[in-house]
């Protein structure tokens, strides 16, 4: 029981002034604030129509549910946004430069909030399963950046969501490194706990508690397609070869996998491969395929910052909490994605990209270098620091009109110094130890779609010599053709 002011979502949203900087809970739709941002968006739409737009500055853990990014963007209430998004209406406004978007490594965000890099955090709006009189906040299906938002915000609104299980606290491990310099974070195996099961807030800052009863509404995954299955087969074969060569220990190493259908298929493929021993994950998102793998004893344990599960899978987890709570640890995103821990544990990372180039650089975020898709998310936290970093993509997009392999990426999120292995449905290019000329050949031969290979070989042959062969007058010819003709298709 607590003595905080109980309010409706409308009453709580009315406390937030135009221009405020707000940290909302949520890492994907999991654990995202729901009722208050929706009420805020309704208020903002009214104000906009009266000629007084709210122009909020919005921080979250990562992407959110529709109640935050979709609703607030549609009300034209977002002026500035960080660190990640995946919302269509928000993306459109970002690409029209109506919203300033700061695309960030997710592990960096909490520390930057703690150290005041973004100025004053006026409000935190955080979903929880309970809040205690002494300021302990038991978070729901994600941890994300909520502990830092609670610690730093001037005023706090808590949504207590009855639809979430109270037993989620058994998974939470909240430990936030203080401002640097700080001591080592001593996690030595993926599911080791080092903190407490709650976030903390000064109870005097809590200005409203809003009761809700609303599921996360995470979309399910589409059925695995053949291309994703082929990517998964290449990944599994490569990792088994690495183990046979003694470069992955017999007991395996912790895996990280990005979000999306391809990542889901890769995890399902690894789980189905009899020769892969039961493994653990040190990742950021715990998604649908992992529930099945855990039930079947293929996945022994997982560290993440969110439980991003479709309603059916989440219900299965809630029904078997004795089983799952012992095997899943939910951490703040600066710990789940922490570069030092990723390096120490020897994580094998697998993330999806839009395009890759002949030098081994990859673009996760910007179509033709200008149009934001989602953001770099956690992919850089893991790719840069992994023991083995794999980047995957279908060899073509949009029915073959776009090649994932291009001479030079139109935007670089992961450079060739971080990227070790590139994979498409066509095959796998192991770039370790290869100098630029050999890299380029391996990428064309193994990753490019056959319909683009001749063009890419010809491009390489006519490049002037240099440590890296590039022709600055032609390296974006494929992108330019796409912009002019709607296809990169070989001329």
Provide the terminal-to-terminal Cα distance of the chain, rounded to the nearest Å: 70
CA distances from 230 to 224, 388, 448 (A): 10, 20, 14
CA distance 290 to 298: 9
CB 70 within 8 A of CB 42: no
Which string of b and e fits 431-461 if b means at least 16 CB within 10 Å?
beebebeebbbbbbebbbbeebbebbeebbe
Q: Given candidates 135, 378, 407, 427, which one binds ligand 0RQ under the rule CB under 6 A?
A: 378
User: Between 42 and 397, whose beta carbon lies closer to ligand 0RQ?
Assistant: 397
* Residues in 255-274 that interact with ligand 0RQ by CB under 6 A: 258-262
Does the active-site annotation cover 284?
yes
**3-class secondary structure, 159:** strand
User: Between 45 and 104, whose beta carbon lies closer to ligand 0RQ?
Assistant: 104
Q: Given candidates 56, 176, 330, 402, which one binds ligand 0RQ under the rule CB under 6 A?
A: 402
CB of 294 to ligand 0RQ, least distance (A): 19
205 annotated to bind ligand: no
Cα dihedral 374/376/379/382 (nearest 10): -160
* Residues in 164-183 that interact with ligand 0RQ by CB under 6 A: none
374 annotated to bind ligand: yes
Structure tokens at 153: 């915000």
Which string of b and e fits 281-291 if b means at least 16 CB within 10 Å?
bbbbbbbbbbb
Q: Which listed range, 10-18, 132-140, 294-302, 353-361, lies at the site for ligand 0RQ (CB under 6 A)? A: 353-361
CB 90 within 8 A of CB 56: no
Q: Given candidates 76, 288, 355, 416, which one binds ligand 0RQ under the rule CB under 6 A?
A: 355
Residue 287 engages ligand 0RQ in binding (rule: CB under 6 A): no
User: Between 140 and 351, whose beta carbon lies closer to ligand 0RQ?
Assistant: 351
Report the greatest alpha carbon distance in the chain.
74
Q: Which listed range, 38-46, 169-177, 339-347, 395-403, lies at the site for ligand 0RQ (CB under 6 A)? A: 395-403
Residue 288 engages ligand 0RQ in binding (rule: CB under 6 A): no
H helices present in 32-119, as ranges? 35-49, 69-74, 88-95, 109-114
CB of 306 to ligand 0RQ, least distance (A): 8
Residue 377 engages ligand 0RQ in binding (rule: CB under 6 A): yes
CA distance 219 to 30: 11
Catalytic residue among 284, 334, 355, 416: 284
Structure tokens at 131: 């809040």
User: Between 18 and 369, whose beta carbon lies closer to ligand 0RQ?
Assistant: 369
Q: Binding site for CoA, residues?
A: 374, 378, 398
Q: Which residues bind ligand 0RQ (CB under 6 A)?
A: 28, 62-63, 84, 106, 258-262, 284-285, 351-355, 364, 367, 373-374, 376-379, 394, 397-398, 402, 404
Cite the active site residues.
284
């Amino acid at each position: 029981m607590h003595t905080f002011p109980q309010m409706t979502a409308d009453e709580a949203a009315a406390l937030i002034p135009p221009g405020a900087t707000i940290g909302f809970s949520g890492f994907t739709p999991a654990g995202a604030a729901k009722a208050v941002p929706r009420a805020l968006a309704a208020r903002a739409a009214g104000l906009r129509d009266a000629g007084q737009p709210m122009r909020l500055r919005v921080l979250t853990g990562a992407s959110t549910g529709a109640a935050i990014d979709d609703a607030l963007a549609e009300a034209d209430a977002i002026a500035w946004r960080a660190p990640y998004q995946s919302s269509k209406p928000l993306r459109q406004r970002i690409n029209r430069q109506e919203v300033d978007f700061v695309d960030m490594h997710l592990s960096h965000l909490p520390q930057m909030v703690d150290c005041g890099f973004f100025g004053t955090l006026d409000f935190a709006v955080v979903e929880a399963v309970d809040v205690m009189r002494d300021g302990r906040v038991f978070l729901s299906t994600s941890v994300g950046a909520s502990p830092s938002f609670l610690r730093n915000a001037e005023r706090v609104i808590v949504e207590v969501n009855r639809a979430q299980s109270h037993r989620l606290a058994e998974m939470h491990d909240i430990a936030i490194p203080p401002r640097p310099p700080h001591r080592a974070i001593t996690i030595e195996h993926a599911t080791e706990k080092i903190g407490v099961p709650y976030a903390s807030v000064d109870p005097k800052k809590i200005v409203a508690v809003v009761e809700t009863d609303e599921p996360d509404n995470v979309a399910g995954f589409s059925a695995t397609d053949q291309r994703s299955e082929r990517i998964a087969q290449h990944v599994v074969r490569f990792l088994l070869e690495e183990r046979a060569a003694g470069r992955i220990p017999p007991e395996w190493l912790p895996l990280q996998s990005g979000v999306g259908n391809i990542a889901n298929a890769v995890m399902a493929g690894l789980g189905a491969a009899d020769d892969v021993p039961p493994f653990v994950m040190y990742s950021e998102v715990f998604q649908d395929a992992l529930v099945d793998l855990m039930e079947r004893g293929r996945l022994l344990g997982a560290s993440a910052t969110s439980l991003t599960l479709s309603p059916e899978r989440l219900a299965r987890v809630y029904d078997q909490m004795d089983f799952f709570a012992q095997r899943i640890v939910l951490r703040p995103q600066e710990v789940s994605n922490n570069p030092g821990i990723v390096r120490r544990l020897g994580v094998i990372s697998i993330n999806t990209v839009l395009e890759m180039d002949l030098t081994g650089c990859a673009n996760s975020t910007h179509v033709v270098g200008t149009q934001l898709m989602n953001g770099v998310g956690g992919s850089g936290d893991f790719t840069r620091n992994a023991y083995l970093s794999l980047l995957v993509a279908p060899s073509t997009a949009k029915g073959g009109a776009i090649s994932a392999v291009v001479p030079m990426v139109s935007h670089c999120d992961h450079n060739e110094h971080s990227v070790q292995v590139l994979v498409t449905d066509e095959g796998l290019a192991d770039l370790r130890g290869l100098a630029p000329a050999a890299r380029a050949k391996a990428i064309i031969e193994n990753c490019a779609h056959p319909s683009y290979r001749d063009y890419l070989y010809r491009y390489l042959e006519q490049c002037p010599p240099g440590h890296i062969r590039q022709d600055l007058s032609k390296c974006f010819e494929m992108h330019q053709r796409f912009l002019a003709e709607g296809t990169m298709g070989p001329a």
